[in-house]
Amino acid sequence: MANSGRIDIGADLDAKLLRAAAVGSVELVERFLDRGADPNLANRHHITAFEIAMAKGHFLVARALFIKGYRPEVLERDELLVMAAAHGDTGLVEFLLESGVSIEAVSGAEQVTPLIAASVTGFDETVASSRGISETDGMAGRSDGCTLAQAQALGATIGSTR
């Protein structure tokens, strides 16, 4: 029988949370969290709602889970920071940085940093200004010390190859 994508009302809150994350429903995720679902609980395959949301590209669900108490591993936090920068979500960028995630975080095989991701999607100025980074600053989210202008150029190159 094919899965209709509906959430079983009889399922426990944690199972509902996992399913809501899988279908990308921010509203349901927040509702289940508010009713007591555990954002850190994993399914029988040891996969959390956050990991499901990130794998399916449901960034806003991942954001909601993080804000409501999910505590990811270091690599997941780095990936969330890069995604937040790419979406121009300066509030989440600030929150993650204040939570100890490094501006030098990298994500993916391309080793994309937050500012490079932001420059690919056109949010580089927004993210940089929220961090007080100018175009000539020698720290644009890369440990090799590239400037914001260099991150923008690299972001444009990555963006044109996609």
3-class SS letters over the chain: CCCCCCCCCCCCHHHHHHHHHHHCCHHHHHHHHHCCCCCCCECCCCCEHHHHHHHCCCHHHHHHHHHCCCCCCHHHHHHHHHHHHHCCCHHHHHHHHHCCCCCCCCECCCCECHHHHHHHHCCHHHHHHHHCCCCCCCCCCCCCCCCHHHHHHHHHHHHHCC
Q: What is the pLDDT of residue 148?
A: 52
Region of poorest pLDDT, from 79-83, 90-94, 155-159: 155-159
In angstroms, rounded to a whole number, what is the distance separating the alpha carbons of residues 105 and 142? Answer: 8
Give mean pLDDT, residues 32-45: 91
pTM above 0.75, yes or no: no
Percentage of residues in the chain with pLDDT exceeding 70?
69
Q: What is the pLDDT of residue 16?
A: 93
What backbone torsions phi and psi does residue 89 show, to the nearest 5 degrees? -85, 80
pLDDT digits (tens, 9 = 90+) for 137-158: 434 444 444 455 555 555 554 4
Q: Is residue 42 within 8 Å of 48, Cβ to Cβ?
A: yes
pLDDT digits (tens, 9 = 90+) for 94-106: 888 888 888 777 7
Asked if residue 90 has pLDDT above 70, the reply is yes
User: Locate tokens 């991150």: which residue?
Assistant: 151
More confident residue, 92 or 21: 21
Residue 61 pLDDT level (bands cut at 50, 70, 90): very high
Asked if residue 126 has pLDDT above 50, the reply is yes
